[in-house]
Amino acid sequence: MSSELSRRSVFRAIGLGATAVAVPSLISACGDGSGGGGVGNAGTEQAAWPTYTAAKVPAPDLPGDGNDVQNGYTKYPSQVGTATNGKPGDGSVVKAVVITYGTPPGPKETNKFLQAVNEALGIDLQLTVVPDADYQAKMATLMAGDDLPDIMNIGGGYILPREADFVASKCADLSEYLSGDAVKAYPNLANIPTRAWKDMGRVKGRIMGVPVERPAPGNIFFANREMWKGVGVDDKAFSAGGWTSTDLLTAAKALTKDKKYALGASKSGNFGLGVHAPAWGAPNLWKNDGGTFSSYFTTPEFKQAVAFMRDLFAAGVYYPDALTVSQVDAKTHFAGQITGSLTDGFGAYSQMVTSAKGAYTVAPALPYAGGSAGGKIFAARSVFGYTVLKKAAPERIKLLLRVLDFLAAPFGTKEYELVHYGVEGTHFTRDAAGNPVQTDLWKGGENKTNLPITYLCDAPQVLFYPGVSPEAIALMHSFEQKTAPNLVRNPAYGLVSDTASKSEAAIRKTITDVLNSVVMGRASLDDWDAAVKRYKADGGDKIGEEYGKEYAASK
Amino acid sequence: MTASTIARNTAAAGGDGAGKKPPRVPRDRTSLWRKLVRDRLLWLCLLPGLAYFLIFHLGAAFGMVIAFTDYWPGISVAQSNLVGVETFQKMFGDPDFWHAVVNTVEISLLQLVFYFPVPLGLALLLHSLTSTTIKRLVQNVVYLPHFISWVIVVALFQQILGGAGVVNGFLADHGLHTVDIIGNPDAFKPLLIAQVIWKDSGWGTIIFLAALAQVDDTLYEASAMDGAGPWRRFWHVTLPGIRSVIVLLLVLRLGEVLSVGFEQLLLQRDAVGPGAGEIIDTYVFYKSLGGGGDFPLAAAAGIFKGVIGAILVYAANKVAHRLGEQGVYR
């Protein structure tokens, strides 16, 4: 008889389950997010950018230009101040999700770095680290769930599915806390340059996040200088400049022998596209021609760059199995001097220098000139990504912003020291000159690579890395000075397009597949033209139109 | 309210509505209850499995509804709008989808022809071994690759056969022509089959070995006394003995004809491009979780796979019955 009962209770339980799932989403439905509304800035009232207020920093011995060239420090400042007042937190649990390029951090019971950060921030930080390779899939799953963490960084160069829609509907609007002079309540966030806020952009006219600043150079052709010196391009490629695509091809052919390859390559690197495209004069992702936007895929310069990469591939100068190795493996090949160069972001520099262990010079090569208008270098988006907060009461939002403010404390402060080098005596000691020297504990894994809190928020970057020689710092500083006039910016950074938010990731994948086939000689350059046509039809043109409208509205 | 009072109330209510008909149902219920009590241990053993299928298969199947909506992660299913079969129209109108289907079917057929017989052959060889020590040893060795993840297997093949791998290194050192296997679209499908055979054929022997153990030894003795050689014994005793298991596995395999191994393909697809490497599962991945964010399309492709699989299982089962076999179900 009780089988009837149990059947009923099962139905009731299922019904209850369904309600439990449905209720929180109904609450969130009160927002503006059910898909159709549009996330663009055109036609909205736009919140003013946070007022930039420079923080007091120690005087650099290699001064920057305040924009494209960073401040360089060949030694650590002898005096460090403080940048915050008191603990930002109230001891509560703060959940955060962030991308990682390392391994998971140790538990807080044993992780002295996390303990010290928690103590200084006055919070119990529960950090979910998402490996680079799983980032898109994991974040899409997280976005679909109802249990969002307090702090989320959207970064690493990925476009998440319907990213702007998600931010607009599920994240806190930070305009009232950060717009204009309001940001002065968070002095370290006010020290983030305006170009970073602009490249992050607004959604529906509102400031929805805090940018994680990055310096100007985008993809860099990092070379093993001694290997290239042997094939006669040292002066042109690394100091005087003025080398051409022919020089590169000839030198690369000469260098590739005895199981050594001139050009490193990886799955995500697309054969060094980020270096070759500007060298041939292609625009940086989008071209703004008097308010008309077109994708770099559609330009003849881009096609020339593709044709050149195809020649390089045909010459056999790329590492074989280019599309099966990861960027991590590609770095190992470079460090092991199996490959003579590797295209990577600016941020990879200090680690590459450290991995070289002084056996060879890691040199950023100056852009070569391909074609007539080339010799350029792409400017990076001024942000690694941006950090958004889950909707919450104003007090909670203020607490979380204070946490981000702490993490953004500039170079030459106690806070910066903790976040970037750990605890003195535990994670770093000092050499005779006062420079921080990393301990084995830090090098062994208890560090900010494995506890990537600097991707939640960070100070504007400077040229100083513990364990990196003054010569290497000076080399990069000089590279920035030389390439600053040749930087090509992406006019679409900071602009929002509904179509891009919905379909850019997918159509980009399709055309990138063709790009790889063309470079590897499996498809012809005519196939490239067909792919461009398809890209335009599948949404490329529409995205361009939307950027045009946004651009007109933001002027 | 206790169980018995509810049951009584229900019975009373049912009685009112049903007029003068004798209450036949309670007697059945009692007998069902008795059966439950009698077999309670079996039911208890069944419970976890049943719960698994109810929650993770039947329950999750309700998610298919998003194929008919404009859902995206960030809103709930209830908030999304119904769009009818628009997603299916979009999917069926996409040449890339059909390209992925063709690749999937090709790989599946290759697996059926070249991979499916391998565990059977291996099982027969193992079964013919007389020394149990050697048999156990070989069994253990061939089972091992099954437990290695695809990431490792793919890396292993790459280290051996890749352009910078062991084989090509050896060939280059001796001034010979190098071979282009990894990253070569023409060699891709055979490579996939080779990987599956290496990884899973040992594991696949388990069911066949169990079936072989069921064949009555006296039949072998009798046929041997009648002068049957090894080949005739295999043909007239072994094969008929395990035929039903082979048919069963074949029918089940047909149900999964559109699933050819997502991880293995995802790891290697980019190296050969979508021309050779795109299957339904990777197509779906790149359209949804891998950046595209088109979850309705992913659900639509899932339904497509499910429907085709169900039709094939049903058809194959019918054919099995025609051939006088038990099949999967009657």
In-domain check, residue A57: no
- A-chain residues near B274 (CB < 8 A): 510, 513
Does A263 share its domain with A323? yes
Q: Note the pLDDT tens digit of each residue in A93-122.
A: 999 999 998 888 989 899 999 999 999 999
pLDDT of residue B25: 52
pLDDT of residue B76: 80
Q: Hey, what are A467's tokens?
A: 């364990």
d(CA A469, CA A199): 32
**B200-213 mean pLDDT:** 91
pLDDT of residue A4: 36
**B235-253 mean pLDDT:** 87
Compute how many other C-beta atoms are within 10 angstroms of the C-beta atom of residue A262: 27
pLDDT of residue A16: 33
Long-range CB pairs of A24-29 (<8 Å, 24+ gap) are A24/A146, A25/A146, A25/B75, A25/B76, A25/B78, A25/B79, A26/B76, A26/B78, A28/A146, A28/A169, A28/A170, A28/B75, A28/B76, A29/B75, A29/B76, A29/B79
pLDDT of residue B34: 86
Does A153 share its domain with A240? no
- Of chain A residues 9-38, which have a CB less than 8 A from chain B? 21-22, 25-26, 28-29, 33-35
Does A172 share its domain with A264? no
Does residue B107 contact residue B189 with C-beta atoms inside 8 Å?
yes
Does residue B74 contact residue A33 with C-beta atoms inside 8 Å?
yes
pLDDT of residue A321: 85
Residue in A closest to B74 by C-alpha: A144
Residue type, position A47, single letter: A
Among residues of chain A, what percentage have pLDDT more than 90?
64
Does A185 share its domain with A230? no
pLDDT of residue A336: 93
pLDDT band at A13, cuts 50/70/90? very low
Average pLDDT along chain B = 85
**B223-231 mean pLDDT:** 88
Q: Hey, what are A335's tokens?
A: 């460090």
Q: Kind of pairing, strands A428-430 and A436-438?
A: antiparallel
**Backbone phi and psi for residue A208, each to the nearest 5 degrees, phi listed first:** -105, -10
pLDDT band at B252, cuts 50/70/90? confident
Among residues of chain B, what percentage have pLDDT more than 90?
35
Domain total in chain A = 2
* Distance set, CA A387 to CA A88, A432, B304 (Å): 17, 38, 39
pLDDT of residue B118: 94
For residue B6, is pLDDT > 70? no
Which of B40, B65, B72 is most worth mutating to test chain A (most A CB atoms within 10 A of its CB)?
A: B72
Q: In chain B, where does DSSP find H-type helix?
A: 3-17, 25-38, 40-52, 60-61, 86-92, 95-110, 117-128, 132-143, 150-161, 166-173, 185-214, 217-225, 230-233, 239-255, 262-272, 274-277, 280-287, 295-322
Does residue A457 contact residue A211 with C-beta atoms inside 8 Å?
no
Q: What angle do CA A532, A534, A536 make, to 5 degrees?
A: 70
Q: Note the pLDDT tens digit of each residue in A490-509.
A: 999 888 888 887 788 888 88
Domain that holds residue A457: 93-213+384-463
**A50-74 mean pLDDT:** 91
Are residues A503 and B288, on separate chains, in Cβ contact within 8 Å? no
Instruction: Identify the residue with better confidence: A408 or A162.
Output: A408
- B-chain residues near A326 (CB < 8 A): none
pLDDT band at A478, cuts 50/70/90? very high
Does A240 share its domain with A312? yes
Q: Note the pLDDT tens digit of each residue in B37-74.
A: 888 899 999 999 999 999 988 888 888 899 999 888 77
pLDDT band at B97, cuts 50/70/90? very high
Cα–Cα nearest to A301, from A158, A157, A488, A480: A488
Are residues A517 and B275, on separate chains, in Cβ contact within 8 Å? yes
Closest-CA distance, B274 to chain A, in angstroms, reads: 7
- Of chain A residues 260-279, which have a CB less than 8 A from chain B? 267
For residue A36, is pLDDT > 70? no
For residue B217, is pLDDT > 60? yes
In-domain check, residue A208: yes
Does A244 share its domain with A282? yes
Q: Domain segments of chain B: what residues?
A: 1-38, 85-322
Q: What is the ipTM of this complex?
A: 0.73
pLDDT band at A17, cuts 50/70/90? very low
Does A346 share its domain with A271? yes
3-state secondary structure of A392: coil
Q: Hey, what are A283's tokens?
A: 């625009």
CATH code for the domain of A192: 3.40.190.10
pLDDT band at A9, cuts 50/70/90? very low
Average pLDDT along chain A = 88
Does A188 share its domain with A231? no
Closest-CA distance, A437 to chain B, in angstroms, reads: 36
**A4-16 mean pLDDT:** 36
pLDDT of residue B29: 58
3-state secondary structure of A318: strand
**A330-341 mean pLDDT:** 94
Does A182 share its domain with A289? no
For residue A1, is pLDDT > 80? no
d(CA A304, CA A346): 25
d(CA A261, CA A271): 13
pLDDT band at A555, cuts 50/70/90? low
pLDDT of residue B27: 53
pLDDT band at B3, cuts 50/70/90? very low
pLDDT of residue A259: 87
- B-chain residues near A506 (CB < 8 A): 286-287, 291-294
- B-chain residues near A267 (CB < 8 A): 270-271
3-class SS letters over A89-156: CCCCEEEEEEEECCCCCCCCCCCHHHHHHHHHHCCEEEEEEEEHHHHHHHHHHHHHCCCCCCEEEEEC
- CATH superfamily, domain at B85-322: MetI-like (1.10.3720.10)
pLDDT band at A85, cuts 50/70/90? confident
Are residues B29 and A4, on separate chains, in Cβ contact within 8 Å? yes
In-domain check, residue A248: yes
d(CA A170, CA B75): 9
Instruction: Identify the residue with better confidence: A163 or A379.
Output: A379
Does A185 share its domain with A128? yes
Residue in A closest to B288 by C-alpha: A161
In-domain check, residue A477: no
pLDDT of residue B102: 95
Q: Note the pLDDT tens digit of each residue in B177-205.
A: 888 888 888 999 999 999 999 999 999 99
Which H or E run contains A342?
A: strand A341-344
Of A447, A463, A479, the last residue of a domain is: A463
pLDDT of residue B22: 52
pLDDT of residue A253: 96
d(CA B197, CA B261): 13
B13 touches chain A (CB under 8 A): no
Does residue A344 contact residue A274 with C-beta atoms inside 8 Å?
no
pLDDT of residue B10: 41
By Cβ distance, the residue of B79, B96, B291 closest to A161 is: B291
d(CA A540, CA A129): 33
**Residues recorded for chain A:** 555
Does A282 share its domain with A394? no
Does A388 share its domain with A410? yes
